[in-house]
Structures are given as structure tokens and as C-alpha cells.
Structure 1
């Protein structure tokens, strides 16, 4: 719904840190926006009124928005006016249970990409979207869309031994694959990695963050060099600084380190592993980086991947620094300041030699569409990944199928239920996309492929709500999201949940970087406002203690194990209630003229602002 009244007297931009207040005007027919010395009445023409829902906490409580942007005020007023039209339907807990039961049955063979399990899963999803009355939203062939988006994936594997040799000028030392170093199969299209005596350069945390006035590179040319880089952000250890304290930004994520060094033409990247900053031990690094690797098929993979991508144990790195006449801890402390400059590890070189096999496999994203009634070229998206781990090593009972009931049968069941709800109601003003993604378990690759090859323009995608591993254990008093990020879309979700007396519980471990581990992230990285919704832990029956215990039990006993199976005693009432909230947020946004954004200091703000012309 367009924002009623006159907007011309509201400042076009708001300074970082400004306070804004929304309150009912004295006439009782409209709403005032106060910003410093400016007061604007949203109903400036005689006889018109915003008609807000006075029971909506977003309006009822003289809302003060710190560090807000004008778009949130536009949304608040227009969505409040449309609140009755967008009241959420009730969702069917039994049908949620049925979908999870079907998708996680042995018949679907663990839903691995490029298998018979994928064929069955894709067919089931298409049948459900058709029955819900939605339109195909996938690849455009001629003038018609298919139900799927073809996702070509590269499969990369090291064949034979990995030879890694350190030369300090007086002696040579061999590093064992998976022990001193963990080297990934090259994903730049090469059939062989072979270089001799490449110099090593310490680039600190390897961050280039213009919005934070931070540059670890200081103009150094990395061509032909191996960049040694620290994991996490410069202020992880101090807990304060320009990168959100212990809450990891994307600059701290290992994927950023690899991407940034590739952009700078480095021969390779060597990330120093430390358990605290990484949030996991060396065993995880070894198991995740020394096996088969996957990536989307890229037109120029060398821009995304340096020839060598690797990790090194901390004690080995300390030894390297000592051989170069440097103190590792002192260098790390220096890297936590803006004054840091790259340090050459003098006298040290590394040689590498290993062969590779590369293949292309094909998988599918499934996409369904509700075309918008007024603005069909603007989009709101719900997403969830359909894939799991397929058939693998047996557990103690001999079961070899990794069924993935919670991960992510629950998210897909939620996506289908939301599609059914939208299919029964009049189309909103904007189009709504339902995207079931492949290859999340391979590294968010279905989402990465969509983000690199969008079916619908990212600039005109108003927001994305992702659902991953929801809890089938009954209703809670709260909800959470993956990771820590500041964006208008989260503010809208928090306000909507308050109408159900459901509180927001921030990620208890933002330093672990979970924001970057779910399918919303490839879209967020390109500036699209995106969040991944998670079930809460404050159970109506049992409280936080019971919720935490259940989460820990699932992580220990069932996560990525064959035992992640549907159970008859599960309660989907909590999921059904949460879908009312998610429907409300999506429907309000789809009936709004607002364009949510990231906070001014977000690493994703610049990408969103750069696409502003696409929204005019």
C-alpha cells in the first residue's frame, strides 16, 4: 500500500545516530513523524486518514527508532494501514508433519543432489506447488517459465599425493596433507597445481573495508605470492573496535579471506587456524577441506578462487614466523590496528604439487511464483534448502540413509505451507517467490548459483526470509535468527512477532559466524536484505532449560546423522504459529512500497546502495 500523505517535508537522508519518533497526531486521524526540528503529519489532505491498526505495537507505543532509515517509517505506516488485509491465516500442523514425514522417508534416499533422491524430491515439490495454485517460477524457456532452475555444479577432487615443501634457505621441510596443512582441491579450473618457492606474505586479517576505513593491504601486489591470513575479525580478541566486537562480520569469515585474495591475484591463501576465532577445532578444518569440493560453474573461476586455498595449524604458523625473525603474537596484535602493513616472511618459500580431477554435475532449484497484482516486477522471497546428505556411512544400527527430517525437511514443509496460504488469497501488490534450493550442504551452492544467476532482479527483491532446521518440538516464547546483523527486515520481523507476544532472542554466539552458514547469505552478500529464521529455545512447557537441552541433544545425537528422522511424537504447533508471523512479515512487505536496507555500518550496505537505480 502506498504511503498516505505527503513525504516531501521528511529529510531525504537521516544522519547516523538520529532519533525518530512515530506517534498519533492530536487529531487522532493520522500519525506524526518527529525528526529533530521537523514534524510531519502523514495525513496532510482533508478527509484522509492512514487508518493504522492502533493495537499494533509498532504504532501503539510511540516508537523510537535508533539509527533508523526513512524506508522503515514508510513500511510502518503503510503496513499498519494494511494490517487487517494481511492478517495471517492459520497453518496446518498435521500437514507440516506429513510433509516432513514424506520428504525424510527412506524412499527419498536422503535427498542428495544429482541422485534418484533429488528426482523424487523435485517431483514432490512441483506437485505441491501446482496443487497450491502457484505458477512456475524457474528458468525462462522461450516465453514460459519452468518449475526449476538448472544448477550446474563443479566437482573437484585431488587425485594422488599432495606435496608441500617449506624452504627456509637452509633446509627443506615437508608438510603432510591434513596434518600441518589442509589444502583444498583447486576450484579454478586447473588440472594441476604446481609452483616452486613462492614467497609468503602476512596480510593480517586480510580485510579491505572502506566503510570502516580499514585496509590491511596498503597497496601490496600479491601476484605470485602466498597470503598468510588470520581467521575472524581484527577485534575478535579485544571484544571492541570497528568490527562489532566478538560478533563476526563477513570480513572474518574464511570464505571472504579466500575471495579477497583471489580478487587481488594471489597465488594462494593460507589461513592460520586458531580454535577460538574459528569456533571449531582442527579436525573440522581437516575433514571439511581435504575431501571432494563443490562450487557453482563460473564463467571465470580464477576471479573467485586462487590456485591454492589452504589452512595451516597455529603452532606451524608460529614456527614460520620465528624462522622469519618475527613474533606471531606481536604481529597479530599489530594486525588488530589500522596501522598494520603487510609483513614479508623473509627467507621462507613454499612449493606445492598435486593433480586434480574436475567434473560438472547438474542439480535443480525449484521455484514457484505468485505474480504481484500491482508491481509484478518487485519481489519478496521465501526460501529453504531441499537437499541433505544422501546415503553414507552406516550408524551403530546399520542405517545408511541420512534422512534430514529437521535439516531441512522442516524448512521445506514450512515453505510449502506458506505457498498454500498465498495461493488461497488474493495476490499481494508485489510478486512472491518460493525458492527451494539445492546443494546447501555442499556450501550454499544452490543459493550461490541463484544469486549469481537470479531468476528475478536482485535490485528489485525487497527482502528474503529463509527457513532452515526449524524445531518440531512445540511453541516457544521467542525466536532467533542465524547470526548477528543489523537490517530493517529484522526490525520488521521483531515488531510483527510482538503481536504474538513472541520475543527476539539474538544469536547467543555471533562470533561463530552462523549468519554466513545459511542460504540467505549469498543474497545478503550481494546487498539483498535477507535473514534466516530460527525457532526459539524458551519453550512454553519447560522454559529455556528444556529448549537448550533439546537443542544440544539434537546437535549431539542427530545433526548430520542417519538418526535425523521424523518422529510421531513431534509437535508442529510451534512451527504453525511461527509461520503466521513469517506470513505476516512477507505479506506486509509485499503490500508495501518500502525497500528495506542494511544499517549504515553494515558490510552489505554498499552493495545494496549501488543497486538503487534498479529500484527507481
Structure 2
């Protein structure tokens, strides 16, 4: 990568025109005095706290993540921001299906009348990708649980699954042709757990029991292992993996043939054998629970347009304690995420402190840090779907993600084409602060990988500041000692000036849609031909 964001002087103070630099309000610092508070020392202390080993890598649902969120809220409180959460606190709480927890003692598979209860780990396990919850209903056998009309196979033909717990075979019926698209040596999509769960749910089933098919892989009747990675996904039903012994016991009670016989019959006849299993009624409890996550929100009310907002954001989560992605054979290690993204979170904290200390801008500013970005932008997506202010009142969103390696890489600013006013504003302050940057649009592959994307999807113009990927990305080596605090402080003074102008606009920024951007690029290409 190209070297270094250019900084003429890291201690260069904000120099604004007289028109944009009002005198200090009573008891307030002037705009210039406030900007001068953005120092390397003030910045790095937040990174040090958030990226300390005691935070444990800030995985949602952990004590370290709780401490990090409380710290951010306390910084907002001390700065003088108003709580911005929907309950009057600094927090917006939401549930994460992507980080499910398993309580084996609570997991249950039993006859509904209580006369038989099977043992967890020996007779059944909960699939990590199961939906959270429970189900109870009449038990029915539903073959392989497959609906494949293009292969003339349908386990649901003439069978009503509504309200029932279904017992289904793993995989798909074997074909005599090992190269067949359905039933060949390479399983089709119809054999997947996710497909079985979706089809069963669409037919009204309340839970799904899967059993290893006799004569198929795996030959040994091994139950599915718990995996935190698999637990990040939730399919559409409560799902248990039951042993062949357990399934055969239930089939015998229902007066039906055993698993091996049923599997052979399904493969030879290729017709539905789905049927209710006598009067058996079972109860399923997965033992799963979701993880509670929290966005942290503080508000600085605007001077004369308090119902217009800018959002200044960063995600405060990381990946926790896990095996390094480049050495899966190693043991679990703390991933402190100093650059990703204690660096951006510290930037939001400092901008909140400085704006609160200086003159009030015309518009209100929401300072927000998001949880669960690493799990798929879940915190910002939740906010975009459950905003604390009308989404149409948000005039722009600025996102800071990985801004701590300024001295190693050139600053990239994504989203510049999303508003007509952004390019000239960035050019103005880029020259003033000696900041070189590469503007990027929504067509860049990295554009959709951070929290600003959740706002852009709702029609909000966005800017995303990013100092680049590096060799410590998502590895244990991403520690605070490698953060370029001086460079980050200069970047924040640059950002402070931009935010001040955006927060004092009478109109705009004016959204430019992706389609408009593409049309503009095509016109430019045509003009160059």
C-alpha cells in the first residue's frame, strides 16, 4: 500500500474562516479551542482501555463487552451529552440470535406426558444452528424431509405437517447413478439442514428431529458437535439431532418399521412414506438463549435545528477470545482489536467531548457506537430499523472504522459520491490540514462492510474513514502499542471541521443514489472516448 497520510504538522490546530468560527458561548470553549483538545494523549487513553486484555476482545455478551459499553456511556455522560437510548438511558438494547448460548441442563427431548425423557449428549443434542425456543406436538415421520419437484421426489405429498414435530432422515435418498444431481455422491442442496428446516417450517411443523440415515455417511452414529461458528446462524425451527437408537425406539412405539427398513424403502420406491407416529406426542426444548447486545447513544442538541441530525458512529465490538484465523491449530487467544475498532470508538468519544465543549452547531449530533458489527453489521442494522429519531431527519452519517494505522497507510474515505456537497468539503479541509486521501464510492467492494452501509441503505448520505487493512487484522497482534495516535488526532481534527460544516448547513447534504453515480461514471467514460 502507499505510505502515510500526509500530515504537515500533527499538532496543527484548526484554522477556520471567520465566517465558520463563532466566538465562544458563555462557559464554552471557542471552536478553535475545542478543536485543540483533539490530542494524541486524550485519544490513546480510550484505545488503551478498550483494547486492554481485561476487555477480553469485546465479544458481545461477555463481561469485557459490558465494561466497554459502560465506559463509552460514562464518557458521553461526562462530556455532557444527553442519553439517546429509547428508555432514557445511553443504551439501545437488542437480542442477538447470532451469538446463541446453550444450556445443556435446560435442553429437553421427552414424551409430552413425561413418561420418557432422553439424555442430552447420548440420545440427542441441539444443533448449533437451531432456532431458539421450544416446540410440542404430535410426532410424525417425514422421510428425508425433502420437497424436490424437479426430481420427482416429495416427502410432503399427501401429508399434513402442520403443528407437528417431524422426524426426518439426514441427507437424501441415494441414486444408483453416483453422478446424479439428486442422490449422487455429491449431495444436492435438498440434503442440507437449512433446506430441510425451511421446507418443514413452510409446511407448518413446530420442530425438527434429524437422525443419521443407516447406510449413509457418517457410518458411525455420531451426534453433531456444538460450534460457536455454526451458532451464529439460526434456521427456522427448533432442531435436535437424535441418535438412531432413540429414533428406532420411537418408531417401535408407533408400530412402524425401523430406520434401516424405511430408508431402503424410500430409496427403492421413491415415494412418500410420511405418516403420523401413532398417538406419540413429544416436547422439544433447545436450551438455547440469545445474547443481549447494546448500542451506546448520546445526543448533543442543536442550537436552532434540533430536529435535524448528523450521526457520528463507530463499532465498539471485536471478535473476543478465539483461535487465530491464520493458525486454527493454535489455542484460543485474546483478540484485542485496538485498530478494529477501538481506534474508531475512541475517535467518536473524543469528537463527542470536543463538540460538547465548544459552541453548539445548528443541527443536533447523535454520537453512537454499535455492537455486533463483526457479526454482520447487526447493531447498525438494528438502529436503522428501530431509529431513535425519524430516519428521514438524519442528514448524514460519518463512520470511523480502523483509523489507527494512519502512519502506515493512506486514508481512504468511502461514500464521497453519496452527496453532492461531500467532495468540495473534503477537498477544502484536506488542503487545510495537509490530509491526503483516496475517495471511494459505493461500488468499492469494502463499502458494504461497515456500519455506514446500514444508513446508506435507508437513503442517508454517508462518509466512512478508514486507514486500511494490515497484517494484524483480526489477529491477536492488533494491540494499542501499534496505534498511530498522532496521526489519528490529526485525522479527527480534519473530521471535526467537516462535521462542523455539515452540522451548520441550512440544506443538504444532497443524496446521490448509486444509480445516479453509475450514470455519472458512464457519462464520464463516454466523454473520454
Q: TM-score range by the shorter chain?
A: 0.5 to 0.7
Name the SS for the 1:575 alignment partner. Answer: helix
Pair 1:529 & 2:500 matched: no
Pair 1:562 & 2:476 matched: yes
Tell me, in whole angstroms, the C-alpha distance in 1 between the residues paired with 2:40 and 2:49. 14
Which position in structure 2 is the counterpart of 1:455?
A: 388
- Cα distance, 1:102 vs structure 2: 1.4
Q: 2:45 aligns with which of 94, 98, 112?
A: 98
How many aligned residue pairs are there? Answer: 357
1:266-345 alignment, distance < 5 Å? 291-293=230-232
- Cα distance, 1:376 vs structure 2: 1.2
1:327-366 alignment, distance < 5 Å? 359-366=289-296
Tell me, in whole angstroms, the C-alpha distance in 2 between the residues paired with 1:603 and 1:163. 46
Tell me, in whole angstroms, the C-alpha distance in 1 between the residues paired with 2:513 and 2:309. 23
Which position in structure 2 is the counterpart of 1:158?
A: 129
Tell me, in whole angstroms, the C-alpha distance in 2 between the residues paired with 1:469 and 1:164. 45
Name the SS for the 1:151 alignment partner. Answer: strand
Q: 1:93 to 1:563 in 2, by over 3 A?
A: same
Q: 1:531 to 1:191 in 2, by over 3 A?
A: farther
Tell me, in whole angstroms, the C-alpha distance in 2 between the residues paired with 1:103 and 1:84. 34
Q: 1:176 to 1:580 in 2, by over 3 A?
A: farther
Q: 1:195 to 1:122 in 2, by over 3 A?
A: closer
- Cα distance, 1:289 vs structure 2: 13
Name whichever of 83-92 and 496-505 sits farther off. Answer: 83-92
Tell me, in whole angstroms, the C-alpha distance in 2 between the residues paired with 1:415 and 1:184. 43
Tell me, in whole angstroms, the C-alpha distance in 2 between the residues paired with 1:424 and 1:483. 29
Name the SS for the 1:193 alignment partner. Answer: helix
Tell me, in whole angstroms, the C-alpha distance in 2 between the residues paired with 1:489 and 1:184. 49
Q: 1:430 to 1:175 in 2, by over 3 A?
A: farther
Greater gyration radius: 2
Which position in structure 2 is the counterpart of 1:517?
A: 449
Query: Is the 1:386–1:412 Cα contact (8 Å) retained in structure 2?
Result: yes
Which position in structure 1 is the counterpart of 2:338?
A: 405
Query: Is the 1:488–1:598 Cα contact (8 Å) retained in structure 2?
Result: yes
Which position in structure 2 is the counterpart of 1:266?
A: none
- Cα distance, 1:501 vs structure 2: 3.1
Name the SS for the 2:439 alignment partner. Answer: coil
Pair 1:114 & 2:123 matched: no
In angstroms, what is the RMSD of aligned CA positions? Answer: 4.2
- Cα distance, 1:407 vs structure 2: 0.3
Name the SS for the 2:374 alignment partner. Answer: helix
- Cα distance, 1:525 vs structure 2: 0.3
Query: Is the 1:489–1:529 Cα contact (8 Å) retained in structure 2?
Result: no
Which position in structure 2 is the counterpart of 1:124?
A: 71
Query: Is the 1:368–1:433 Cα contact (8 Å) retained in structure 2?
Result: yes
Q: 1:600 to 1:172 in 2, by over 3 A?
A: closer
Tell me, in whole angstroms, the C-alpha distance in 2 between the residues paired with 1:360 and 1:558. 30
Cα distance per residue 1:343-401 (max 9 Å; x no partner): xxxxxxxx9xxx99674331100011111111111111100000001111266875611
Pair 1:389 & 2:315 matched: no
Query: Is the 2:315–2:372 Cα contact (8 Å) retained in structure 1?
Result: yes
Name the SS for the 1:454 alignment partner. Answer: coil
Which position in structure 2 is the counterpart of 1:585?
A: 498
Q: 1:484 to 1:490 in 2, by over 3 A?
A: closer
Which position in structure 2 is the counterpart of 1:136?
A: 83
Tell me, in whole angstroms, the C-alpha distance in 2 between the residues paired with 1:180 and 1:100. 48
Tell me, in whole angstroms, the C-alpha distance in 2 between the residues paired with 1:514 and 1:598. 20
Name the SS for the 1:107 alignment partner. Answer: helix
Tell me, in whole angstroms, the C-alpha distance in 2 between the residues paired with 1:501 and 1:364. 37
- Cα distance, 1:181 vs structure 2: 6.1
Name the SS for the 2:66 alignment partner. Answer: helix
Tell me, in whole angstroms, the C-alpha distance in 2 between the residues paired with 1:574 and 1:426. 25
Which position in structure 2 is the counterpart of 1:496?
A: 429
- Cα distance, 1:131 vs structure 2: 1.9
- Cα distance, 1:306 vs structure 2: 9.8
Cα distance per residue 1:398-430 (max 9 Å; x no partner): 561111111001001111110111121122111
1:6-405 alignment, distance < 5 Å? 81-83=19-21, 87=32, 89-90=35-36, 91-139=38-86, 141=87, 145-155=88-98, 157-158=128-129, 168=151, 171=180, 173-174=182-183, 192-194=197-199, 291-293=230-232, 359-393=289-323, 400-405=333-338
Cα distance per residue 1:219-278 (max 9 Å; x no partner): xxxx99xxxxxxxxxxxxxxxxxxxxxxxxxxxxxxxxxxxxxxxxxxxxxxxxxxxxxx
Cα distance per residue 1:110-168 (max 9 Å; x no partner): 111111112111111112112222221112x3xxx2111112222474359x9889765
- Cα distance, 1:84 vs structure 2: 5.9
Which position in structure 2 is the counterpart of 1:573?
A: 486
- Cα distance, 1:601 vs structure 2: 5.4
The structure with higher relative contact order (CA 8 Å, sep 6+) is 2
TM-score w.r.t. structure 1 length? 0.51
Tell me, in whole angstroms, the C-alpha distance in 2 between the residues paired with 1:418 and 1:184. 48
Q: 1:158 to 1:185 in 2, by over 3 A?
A: farther
- Cα distance, 1:529 vs structure 2: 1.1
Name whichever of 149-158 and 376-385 sits farther off. Answer: 149-158
Query: Is the 1:392–1:401 Cα contact (8 Å) retained in structure 2?
Result: yes
Structure 2 residue runs of 5 or longer lacking an equivalent are 1-14, 24-30, 101-127, 132-143, 153-174, 204-226, 238-271, 273-283, 519-529
Tell me, in whole angstroms, the C-alpha distance in 1 between the residues paired with 2:505 and 2:181. 65
Query: Is the 1:494–1:504 Cα contact (8 Å) retained in structure 2?
Result: no
Query: Is the 1:464–1:520 Cα contact (8 Å) retained in structure 2?
Result: yes
Pair 1:505 & 2:438 matched: yes
